[in-house]
Structure 1
Amino acid sequence: MKEKYYQLAFVIIMMVLITALSLYAWQKPQQTFSETEKRNLTTRQALEGTSLLDGTYQENYETMKNDQFPMREQFVSMHAIFDQLMGNRKSKDVYLGKDALVQDYTPMSAAQMNKMTEAITAFQNAHPDVAMQMMIAPTAIGLSDNALPFGAPRSKQENDIRTFYQKVSPMNCIDLIEPFEKSEDLLYYRSDHHWTSSGAKLAFDTYAKALSLDTGANSYEQLYVKNDFYGTLASKTGIYRYPDEISVYLNQNSDDVYRVTYSDIEASEYTLFDSTKLASDNPYDFFLKGNHPLVQIETASTRRNHLLVIKDSYANALIPFLTPYYSTITIIDPRYYFDSVNALMQEKQITDVLFLYNMTTLSQDTSLIDALAS
């Protein structure tokens, strides 16, 4: 008899808790953005006859219940920590390493590699008088075996990079794998998929050596600008155990001055860094204000070289090192730039081209193929 009373009491308590949570969720202010997951959340939709009839109201309501659940972000983080304690090695496409979160890599298909390398080769053949360089950055999984959980498979990224380079030869392909493997610096953020400023600087040093650039007049001071950075991988997994630092290398050469123009926001500035982004949802946007279709940099360099950088977001932290060596630097991100690249080459009198991608983006993104054909 007592057991029935206990069961009834438990049911009543649970009903009261569920009702209280539902009432609280309904009356509390709607949260429009999740800092933990770095995404917009679904909010309550006004009840209308059309949305009720076509089912969109019901779909919105179910998503809204999940997104607006009380203490949602705390539950997401607790669930991720519990998964890790239970020995799970992976969350979505992120390995839960001992000292870092490491994004997995899906190898580029042979068909995709052939299409992309053929497009790059055709672009190079169309501009025989332009010096072209390619620099593919390995991501953390390509080099961080020690950071991966026990038993995680070794990435095939190195093989893909070398095969890609072979297919676009005789283009000048700059190898980052060897210098990165030898480095003892922290080259990748522990909670984000990007390389650190130290990784970007090492990549530039390798680029400068490959092109025999005279770097003697330029020296850099490393300045830390944020010490509590949690990046995209932390947002994906809900694991916030690996705070990162963001630093910037400032050129001490006073002759390194420039004007930066962003086409999509019609703004010109005299800095490549935006400190307001350090308090934003994506602090990595500190570099070049994030990704834009087209950015134009005019420098004080006496060199007559005009560089076109075709890139993904990895390039944003490296481009500041390039300003002393080119009179203009034109930057396009094919994911957002839809005008003719060949026309841009003529308009800007481009003498040099740098393809700068990380291998994960290069393997997933098809926009480069379309851009080079325009």
Structure 2
Amino acid sequence: MKRTGNVIYIVICLVICVLPFAGMTVYKTNTTTENKTLAAFPSWQKDGAWNRSYFDELSAYFEDHFAFRQQLVSADAEIQSRVFGVSNVDTVAVGTDSWLYYTDTVNDYLAQDTMNERQVFDTVHNLSLLQQYVKEQGVEFLFTVAPNKNSLYGEHMPYYLSKKAGTTKNMDKLKQPLTEAGISYVDLFAPFKDQKETLYLKRDSHWNNKGAVLAYNTLMDAVECDHPTYEDVDVERRKDTYGDLNKMLYPLTAVPEWDYQYEYDSSWKYTGKDKDVEAAYIETECKSGKQSLLMFRDSFGNTLLPLMAQQYKKATFSKSVPYRIAEYMDSCKPDLVIAEKVERNMDEFMTMPPIMQGPEVSMPDSVEETADLGATLMLEDSSDDTRYYLVSGEVSGKELDSDMKIYIRVGSGENTIVYEAFTTVTDTSDYGYQLYLNKQQMQENGMVELTKEELSVIVGQNGKWMQVSGK
């Protein structure tokens, strides 16, 4: 009898172990609500040779596709969150009172690993070049930041994420430099903090529809245009919203939460092939609207899009990073450009600057040569837009000012042109740079095939221009 019991126990254990694998033939997991791309089935060969990572890739494939994965993940999440108050998903933090937070916002919330002086300069400098490019074409420009949820409602953050490294966050560091640089920055933090009502979803990383209306009105007030405020329309409270964090953590057991539905006559329509607010590129038209809009946005723009589309005769919404500003300015002919970026992704301005040719600058008569500074220089076709060359590299030296600007001299003699580069942060340096050069313009300037020999790096600091020895 005891032996029979042992056999039954072993069989049950084997079934439990084998079922996720065997079940893949009839119940394979092909979808996920997590913020990830499912691993593809690996190939035995790669580049004509044995794929040395085959078994690692096969393991990753099984982890993503085993049978009943969603059910098991949901069950584990329910146990860990309800019993222990923790998350089984790296991207989600379980707070108090059923609040969920996106873990990518934790560093901002704790004020740890914040931007240094150079990184603050890079961010503001690159935004300044973007704004300059837009305004030089007679187009209005606005920049705004969507606050992280825990920047406004941090009281529900879990206890183990309560020890802050400081009190100064990235946006605290950026606010004054943005003002001093003359950036047309629209502050959304203040109007949200002024509201007694919670305007973000508890189990989502974004604002609710009422928060979207507040953000929309704040932006429209900034451009001083007539617009409906939606204060007098009927608003219905509905419990039918499934938050992104909710679905990440509980793939099958997510519960809906309350949001607001604004009842108004909508006359805008999609004109492009994509007809979903989640799409990367969207075009809309509204016969009752005025002017045209180009808006670079992220997922916070999903709920803003219907409001903006109703306001403008023609509107283009792009999630592209880096911003394809030159291309879209040419094709969309906007009257207004809005750049909306969520707080947690502000570093994208110093790592992936917009795709546009840097401004031409006048070089002083005297440029010193220095051996104290060095620079790397790479010239290649841009992988983001083949109409451009991409010049990039890093400047090195013992004494580099945090506000040092970087220029690229192209050509020689009478054909010399100097361009101001974007300043960037790379994996190895805070003193990187990027410059896009339009190939057609280079050809018009007599440079049919641009070479590295026609390029040199110049830096500006301490009131001096210095040519840097390159390699």
What's the TM-score, normalizing by structure 2?
0.60
Q: How far apart are the structure 1 equivalents of 2:254 and 2:37?
A: 23
Q: How far apart are the structure 1 equivalents of 2:185 and 2:322?
A: 25
Q: 1:109 — aligned with what? A: 115
Correspondent of 2:73 among 73, 76, 90: 76
Q: 1:95 — aligned with what? A: 93
**Partner amino acid, structure 1, of 2:341:** Y
Following superposition, the deviation at residue 97 of structure 1 comes to 0.9
CA RMSD of aligned residues (A): 3.9
- Say if 1:335 and 1:367, in contact at 8 Å, map to a contact too: no
Q: 1:315 — aligned with what? A: 301
**Partner amino acid, structure 2, of 1:309:** M
SS of residue matched to 1:29: helix
Following superposition, the deviation at residue 78 of structure 1 comes to 2.9
Q: May I ask how many residue pairs the two structures share in their alignment? A: 340
Greater share of strand residues, 1 or 2?
A: 2
Cα 1:323–1:41 change in 2 (3 A) is closer
Correspondent of 2:286 among 266, 289, 299: 299
Following superposition, the deviation at residue 16 of structure 1 comes to 1.1
- Gaps of at least 5 residues in structure 1 are 268-273, 275-287
Q: 1:284 — aligned with what? A: none
Percent identity between the aligned chains? 18
Q: 1:200 — aligned with what? A: 212
Cα 1:307–1:40 change in 2 (3 A) is closer
Q: How far apart are the structure 1 equivalents of 2:100 and 2:225?
A: 35
Q: How far apart are the structure 2 equivalents of 1:241 and 1:30?
A: 21
Q: 2:329 — aligned with what? A: 345
Q: 2:10 — aligned with what? A: 15
Instruction: Show CA shifts across 1:73-103 (max 9, x none).
Output: 3332233333332344785243211221012
Q: 1:143 — aligned with what? A: 152
SS of residue matched to 1:369: coil
Following superposition, the deviation at residue 190 of structure 1 comes to 2.3
1:327 aligns with 2:313: yes
1:165 aligns with 2:175: yes
**Partner amino acid, structure 1, of 2:161:** A
Following superposition, the deviation at residue 121 of structure 1 comes to 0.3
**Partner amino acid, structure 1, of 2:75:** M
SS of residue matched to 2:155: helix
SS of residue matched to 1:161: helix
Correspondent of 1:189 among 170, 190, 201: 201
**Partner amino acid, structure 2, of 1:326:** Y
- Gaps of at least 5 residues in structure 2 are 109-113, 358-435, 437-471
The structure with more radius of gyration: 2
- Say if 2:147 and 2:342, in contact at 8 Å, map to a contact too: yes
Cα 1:175–1:12 change in 2 (3 A) is same
Cα 1:9–1:311 change in 2 (3 A) is same
Greater share of helix residues, 1 or 2?
A: 1
Instruction: Show CA shifts across 1:220-269 (max 9, x none).
Output: 444578715142454147695653345543433xxx6334233xxx36xx
Following superposition, the deviation at residue 26 of structure 1 comes to 1.6
Q: 1:134 — aligned with what? A: 143
Q: How far apart are the structure 2 equivalents of 1:36 and 1:151?
A: 26
Following superposition, the deviation at residue 15 of structure 1 comes to 3.0
Q: Return the structure number with greater relative CO, CA threshold 8 A, min gap 6.
A: 1
Structure 2 counterparts to residues 362-373 of structure 1, below 5 A: 362-363=346-347, 369-372=353-356
Q: How far apart are the structure 1 equivalents of 2:16 and 2:88?
A: 31
Following superposition, the deviation at residue 346 of structure 1 comes to 4.0
